[in-house]
Amino acid sequence: MFEKNKSLLWRYFILIIGLLSIFLIWLNPSVYLKGKEKLELDVYTNYKEPGYSASFLLKDLTSKVIVTSNIDNQKLGTYEVRYDLSYGAYHTKKTRYVNVIDRKKPIISLKGESSVSVCPSKSYVEEGYKAEDNYDGDITEKVKLEVNKNEIKYTVKDNSNNEASMTRKIIYEDKEAPTLTINGNNIINVYLGTTYEEPGYTATDNCEGDITDNVTISGSVDTNTVGEYTLTYSVSDKNKNMSTITRKVKVIKKDTPIGSGDGKVIYLTFDDGPSASITPYILQILKEENVKATFFVINHDDSLNYLIKQESDDGHTVALHSYTHDYSYIYSSVDNYFEDLTAIQNKVKSITGKKSTVIRFPGGASNTVSRKYQSGIMTTLSKEVVNKGYNYFDWNVDSDDAGGARNKEAVYQNVVNNLYYQNNVILMHDFENNYKTLEALRDIIQYGKQNGYVFKAITDNTPPSRHAVNN
């Protein structure tokens, strides 16, 4: 009985202690947290306090709470926010845990295209990639490649296990036509009765390499018949991408003018010199460009004789134009003309030691100014000079530098826009102060070189370039 009472008493005691504790708790000031006690915060973002409240015996003590935290949002980790409340002799606190985490995926970037064409017979050579994470930085070395037949998968995980992936498509195809080139020029002249020798060709394919052996030529050249023939060169790769190129072969008579190589020749000619202001510089350019030209000289002060000598010494042709260059005198009689011509011939010979027979009529054989002085004199002279062993040259390209061409651009355009395929005798002047021609000369030479012309000085063997006679 006593035992039973004792046990009952014990139970009462525990109950009272319990009720007392609840009362005491209720008596203590309390802090209540809004939101979760454990929070996640993305790295580099700011913590936003979800809020709290505090009270004691129904009195609001929220304003007395002191909040402190050690959150570093630049660094992953678990941090605490402490809420402390002191009220009289009472003290209470609460803690919220903030986990700074990285939830952002890394970014993979591919060098090269995300879809690439690869020759069917070859394999793709990795062009490179890069992986960057907002928190871990460069994690390129963590990238894993999964190479399948038609794609490459690039996968990477950052230290927080955020995964990113990219794919590169590999398309096995050959859409590029081979590169077909022919040696030599695309227009070739051959003499009648000789044989056409194929200068050759090459073909390379982006996938198959050298496929010159696959080139076929259609068309043929009959060197026994004058005419223009077209040869068509074709080549295909294994994927039937085809390239073609054509060459024209002209079978010409033997007396047709033809230069060295393919017959593209420029004869630069300078009339009315020499002059102190222009000729030395023209000679300098010709020397630097390693080009030979022809100077149709007239009589000047003997102090300029050294220029005629230099023209000759440099390998140019010193040709005869006129001693006086006076139309009214030279075209008033045949005798006057030859007296004048002989005078310049003698002068040139005394300077160069060579007898020159290459001549150019002042105004050209086609001039009409001579009509004023004697009708029909050009008809006579053009025959007589040949009878006397001279070889006269007019021109077929006029730079117009003694006429309307006002600047170097005009001189240049007048020349390069009027070139013929084969022989070009270009009329220019090296008289005093003709700077526009001097300034255009190097560009003209370079244009000619780039376009397959060779430069030659006129000689007695040069095919004639003659105008129709108009008087």
Q: Which residues bind Zn ion (CB under 5 A)?
A: 271-272, 362
| CB closer to Zn ion out of 65 and 319 | 319
Other C-beta atoms closer than 10 Å to the C-beta of 377 total 22
Measured CA to CA, the distance from residue 310 to residue 279 in angstroms comes to 10
Q: Which is nearer to Zn ion, 312 or 434 (CB)?
A: 434
Backbone angles phi, psi at 433, to 5 degrees: 65, 20
Distances (CA, A) of 49 to 64, 78, 96, 313, 322: 16, 16, 10, 99, 107
Question: How far is the C-alpha of 306 from the C-alpha of 273, rounded, in Å?
Answer: 12
Q: Which residue has the tokens 């006076």?
A: 326
CB 154 within 8 A of CB 132: no
Per the CB < 8 A criterion, the answer to whether 211 and 237 are in contact is yes
Minimum separation from the CB atom of position 271 to Zn ion (A): 4
The 3-state DSSP composition of the chain as helix, strand, coil percent (nearest 5) reads: 25, 30, 40
Task: Collapse the DSSP code of 249 into the 3-class scheme (helix H, G, I; strand E, B; otherwise coil) and give the result.
Answer: strand
* Angstrom distances, CA of residue 15 to CA of 4, 21, 371: 17, 10, 150
**Residue 363 or 448 with smaller CB distance to Zn ion:** 363
Specify the residue, 69 or 396, whose C-beta has the smaller distance to Zn ion. 396
CB of 325 to Zn ion, least distance (A): 6
Helix, coil or strand: residue 166: strand
Report the residue number, 178 or 362, with the smaller CB distance to Zn ion: 362
* Distance of closest approach, residue 463 Cβ to Zn ion, in angstroms: 22
Closest approach of Cβ 445 to Zn ion, in Å? Answer: 22
Q: How far is the CB of 319 from Zn ion (least distance, A)?
A: 12
CB nearer to Zn ion: pick between 263 and 362: 362
Task: Please report how close the Cβ of residue 308 comes to Zn ion at its closest, in angstroms.
Answer: 16
Report the residue number, 106 or 362, with the smaller CB distance to Zn ion: 362
Measured from the CB atom, the residue of 180 and 427 that comes closer to Zn ion is 427
Peptide bond preceding 274 in cis form (omega within 30 of 0): yes
Minimum CB separation of residue 343 from Zn ion in Å reads 15
Q: How far is the CB of 339 from Zn ion (least distance, A)?
A: 18
List helix spans (H) across 204-317. 279-289, 305-313
